[in-house]
Amino acid sequence: MTRSGRPIGVTTLILFHLFNLIIWFFGQTLAIFYYDMVAEWGLQEPRVLVDPVIVEINRAIAIADTILILPLFLIATIGLWGMRFWGVVASWIVLGWLWYFPLVFWSSQALYAAADIRHAPTGMVGILVPAALCVIAAWGIWYLYRNRALFD
C-alpha cells in the first residue's frame, strides 16, 4: 500500500495511464495539426521517408485515437484513482487496445514492405517499445482481474 491507501499496483497503473495519456497526446493529437513537428520528435514517421498516403493514414489514426483512446485513458486514470470498478473496466479497454495497436503497426509495416510501398523501416525501438507496452498491459489486465474485489 502507498501512503494514500491505494495498492502499489493500482498506483503503478495510474502512472502508466498518465504516461500514455501524455505520450499519445503529443504523438497523436498534435500530429493531426503539426505532423512534421511530431515526426521530428520521433513520434511519427518522417514525411520524406514514407509514401504520402501513409502520412494521411497516420493522421486519420491520430484523429481516432484522440476521440476515443485519450478520453478512455483519462477515464481509466480517474476511476482507478477513486478505486471505482468503472476505472477497472476502462483500464481493461485501454490495456487491451495496447495489445491491438502494436499488432496493427507491425502488420502494416510487413504489408507495406510486401507491396513495395515506401515506408520507414521498423527499427529495434519500433519493435521493443510496443512489445514492452504489451507486456505491461498484460500484467495490468491480470493484476486488475486478480484484484477486482478492491474496487466499488
Output the CA angle 42-60-105, nearest 5 degrees: 55
Mean pLDDT of the chain: 93
CA distance 85 to 80: 8
**Cell output for 115:** 507491396
Tens digit of each residue's pLDDT (9 = 90 or more) over 65-90:
999 999 999 999 999 999 999 999 99
The CA–CA distances, whole Å, from 122 to 3, 29, 94, 149, 152 equal 42, 22, 24, 41, 43
The CA–CA distances, whole Å, from 104 to 26, 33, 35, 100, 111 equal 20, 23, 20, 6, 10
CA distance 95 to 82: 18
Q: Phi/psi zone of residue 118: left (φ > 0), alpha (ψ -120 to 50 degrees), beta?
A: beta
Helix axis angle, 8-24 to 124-146, nearest 10°:
140
Candidates 18, 14, 38; CA nearest to 26 is 38
Tens digit of each residue's pLDDT (9 = 90 or more) over 15-33:
999 999 999 999 999 999 9
pLDDT at 152: 87
Query: 70 burial class (0-12, 13-18, 19+ CB within 10 angstroms)?
Result: middle
pLDDT at 2: 59
